[in-house]
Amino acid sequence: MATNALRSAVRTRGPLVAATLVAASACLSGSEATATVIGAAAERQTRTLAGASPADRIIPGPPTPRQDQCPLRLPARLPSRTRAVPILTYHRIATPSPSTPAITRRLTVHPGDFARQMRWLKRHGYRTVTQRQLFDGLMCRRPLARKLILVTFDDGYRNVLANAAPVLTRLGMRATAYVITGRISGDDPSFLTWGQLRALERRGIEIGSHTVSHLSLQRLSDDQAFAELVRARRTLERRLRHPVPWLAYPFGAYDARIERLARRAGYVLAVTTQWGALQSARRPLALPRLRVLDSTGVQGLAAMLAQVA
Q: Is residue 88 part of a domain?
A: yes
Same domain for 144 and 14: no
Same domain for 46 and 91: no
Same domain for 264 and 131: yes
Same domain for 299 and 160: yes
Share above pLDDT 70 across residues of the chain, in percent, rounded to a whole number: 78
From the number of C-beta atoms within 10 Å of its C-beta (0-12, 13-18, 19+), residue 196 rates as buried
Same domain for 245 and 100: yes
Same domain for 301 and 161: yes
**Does the pLDDT at position 49 exceed 50?**
no
**Range with the lowest mean pLDDT among 58-67, 80-89, 127-136?**
58-67
pLDDT, residue 68, reads: 59
The total of other beta-carbon atoms located within 10 Å of residue 303's CB is 11
d(CA 143, CA 286): 21
Same domain for 288 and 144: yes
Distances (CA, A) of 222 to 229, 255, 259: 11, 12, 11
Read off the CATH number of the domain in which 132 is found. 3.20.20.370
**Does the pLDDT at position 186 exceed 90?**
no
Confidence band for 170, pLDDT divided at 50, 70 and 90: very high
Query: What is the total count of domains within the chain?
Result: 2
Q: Is residue 56 part of a domain?
A: no
| 308 in Cβ contact with 290 (< 8 Å) | yes
pLDDT, residue 185, reads: 83
Share above pLDDT 90 across residues of the chain, in percent, rounded to a whole number: 75
pLDDT, residue 43, reads: 39
Could you write out the three-class secondary structure of 231-255?
A: HHHHHHHHHHCCCCCEEECHHHCCC
Same domain for 108 and 44: no
Structural domain of 27: 2-51
Confidence band for 60, pLDDT divided at 50, 70 and 90: very low
Q: Is residue 180 part of a domain?
A: yes
Same domain for 233 and 186: yes
**Does the pLDDT at position 173 exceed 70?**
yes
228-280: pLDDT as tens digits: 999 999 999 999 999 999 999 999 999 999 999 999 999 999 999 999 999 99
| 27 in Cβ contact with 20 (< 8 Å) | no
Q: Is residue 132 part of a domain?
A: yes
Same domain for 219 and 91: yes
What mean pLDDT do residues 75-99 have? 96
Same domain for 299 and 180: yes
Top-confidence residue, 304 or 53: 304
Q: Is residue 267 part of a domain?
A: yes
Q: At what angle do helices 2-13 and 32-50 cross, to 10 degrees?
A: 10
| 72 in Cβ contact with 245 (< 8 Å) | yes
How many degrees, rounded to 5, is the angle at CA 194 between CA 294 and CA 177? 35
| 93 in Cβ contact with 274 (< 8 Å) | no
